Structure 1
């Protein structure tokens, strides 16, 4: 019975990864129409009514069990996702995703620093192997190394911390509440930043002020919001029916799908070092997921 549940969970995780990696390829197209903060304000405005409709149909309670823990968790995860989306403005999805999917490795490190968790030899190997794989995929140039080069890794750090807080503080919260908390937090932060950039405008994806939304911007943003909600729902269901260790491994298929979509949509080829980096990250993810009893702590659920 459990094996069939795990197969279903693997299929859900694969579907979620395929959808997320597909829709994220169009963030750069959104950047041609408006800035990052305007995108997230409209994305939240589209997403919230959909969440309310889902809650109404499924009769799910949207009030958190603990508002403070949800707020901290939402801020942390939102920070990671905002950094990730900012990186998508300048990097291919596979490269930005490599940093975000370093989250399980950061969780292992933070577990030692914050909670004194002892890791076995296998997980130590996975930490360093996975970090090396992320660098192989990101391929930072030492001569031009800057904060922008390290943005994806920073995204993984905050996202990983948020996932760790999910298991520690938010185990009784429903996936819908967790997802809605992140959407609302991103929307609120983006509204503040959009106000600031509209007063002191710039010309980059991060500093662009409010502009009248074009039909293309509205359709792309609605497309992103619907796709994200579907993917989050699929991955939440995967973690409900399957073993977390199994789901966590199949989530790494995001990197493979990201490279595939980049080729099919934009003819962006992936070099051999990046392909090797994906293989290394997948290997590290398998080691992390299947070593020890605390696999759930290192899973990177959305």
Structure 2
């Protein structure tokens, strides 16, 4: 008896692919928003396991191992997609990579010093810096509506993360510095690297993070501290758990970094930055699904403010164009 085929009908599949292509090519702003949302969902998921990584090795060893896995993955992706890993402008790409990498390394480092709430609140000040640098460096014209929408989004971030104001100190400036560097790096993407491929932009970030981490790891390995921590630990023999977590993190980070780089390359930086707030919404969802951590009323209100501000900004932009 012949086996009945379960394959999708050819014309139906072709029609679905055609509609998806039309949607995807409809507007760079739409593609940028979708890519930023995808990146936020992936990063918020894999960041839930940073604490597990800290139990196995220092941040510097983790970043070196992750770069060693991520870069070959990007080479493979580049060959399969026909994208070259050679930047069109090495200096501009290197500058952008250095700025973004510095911000991300500071953020990861502060996770071992400060509560996650303070570190996260500092990093997600990036949209404020994107707005400021757009005006100061590139003479962009930002409307009062856009300013209020971004400020409201940041207020929602604070409501969601709820940093302890009584414990604020000079160390609290470190995650703020991460926000400055990350915001500046994202702003530089369309201005300096608009012609670069997502593979090149992602590879640049992983390469710079890997080189910086290798230098710090070498120092702490040659001059170990008495009580090594997540920030001051040297090289240790990698366990199977660490290798698995690193591969898992590298694969997710490669996809997410490529998505967010492309989003900033084709979109408007200040608008993509607001979409990135969804990281916190996804983080709350993943935390509940993975660890059973519930979100309180103030945090739920913060999520609502973030959604409203992002939606208002998108609608306002669509009416202006």
| TM-score after normalising by structure 2 | 0.79
Please say if residues 126 and 273 of structure 2, whose CA atoms lie closer than 8 Å, have aligned partners that are also in contact.
no
Q: CA RMSD in A?
A: 3.1
CA distance in 2, matches of 1:8, 1:118: 23
Conserved in 2, the CA contact under 8 Å of 1:95 and 1:137? no
Are residue 4 (structure 1) and residue 27 (structure 2) matched? no
Structure 2 residues without counterparts, runs of 5 or longer: 1-18
- Matched with 1:299 is none
Distance in 1 between the 2:271 and 2:137 partners?
26
Cα separation, 2, equivalents of 1:164 and 1:144? 31
Residue 253 of structure 1 is matched in structure 2 by 278
Distance 1:277 1:286, change over 3 A: same
Q: State the Cα distance separating 1:236 from its structure 2 match.
A: 5.5
Q: 1:91 to 1:157 in 2, by over 3 A?
A: same
- The answer on 1:52 being equivalent to 2:78 is no
The yes-or-no answer on 1:38 pairing with 2:61 is yes
Instruction: Quote the Cα distance in structure 1 between the aligned partners of 2:265 and 2:184.
Output: 21
Distance of aligned partners of 1:108 and 1:249 in 2 relative to their CA distance in 1, 3 Å threshold = closer
Q: Which moved more, 1:223-232 or 1:136-145?
A: 136-145
C-alpha contact 1:22 1:261 (8 A) present in aligned 2: yes
| 8 Å Cα contact 2:119/2:175 also seen in 1 | yes
Matches within 5 A, 1:70-219: 70-89=93-112, 96-198=119-221, 199-201=223-225, 202-219=227-244
Give 2:91's aligned residue. 68
Q: Number of matched residues? A: 294
Structure showing greater radius of gyration is: 2
Describe the SS at the equivalent of 2:208: helix
* Aligned-pair CA distance for 1:156: 2.1
Deviations 1:150-204 (A, max 9, x none): 4443322211100111111111111110000000000000011112222143532
TM-score by length of 1: 0.84
Contact 1:245 1:290 in 2 (8 A): no
| Structure-1 separation of matches of 2:259 and 2:316 | 25
Deviations 1:5-44 (A, max 9, x none): 2677665544432222111111110000001111100000
Residue segments in structure 1 that go unaligned for 5+ positions in a row: 296-302
Q: Counterpart of 2:13? A: none
**Which residue matches 1:298?**
none
User: 1:245, CA displacement in angstroms?
Assistant: 8.3
How far residue 86 of structure 1 moved from its aligned partner, in angstroms, is 2.4
TM-fit CA distance, 1:223? 0.6
Task: Write the distance in 2 (CA, Å) between the matches of 1:128 and 1:11.
Answer: 22
User: How far apart are residue 240 of structure 1 and its match?
Assistant: 8.1
Distance 1:34 1:203 in 2: 10
Higher alpha-carbon deviation: 273-282 or 70-79:
273-282
Q: Is the 8 A contact 2:122 2:176 kept in 1?
A: yes
- Asked if 1:282 corresponds to 2:307, the answer is yes
Alpha carbons 1:106, 1:156 under 8 Å: kept: yes
User: Per-residue deviation at 1:264?
Assistant: 1.7
Q: Do 2:66 and 2:250's aligned partners in 1 also have CA atoms closer than 8 Å?
A: yes
Give the drift of 1:89. 4.1
**Could you tell me whether the CA contact under 8 Å between 1:24 and 1:93 is conserved in 2?**
no
CA contact (8 A) 1:105 1:130 kept: no
Alpha-carbon deviation of 1:149?
Answer: 3.6
With over 3 angstroms needed to count, the CA separation of the structure-2 counterparts of 1:3 and 1:57, relative to structure 1, is closer
Alignment CA distance shift 1:244-1:106 (3 Å): closer
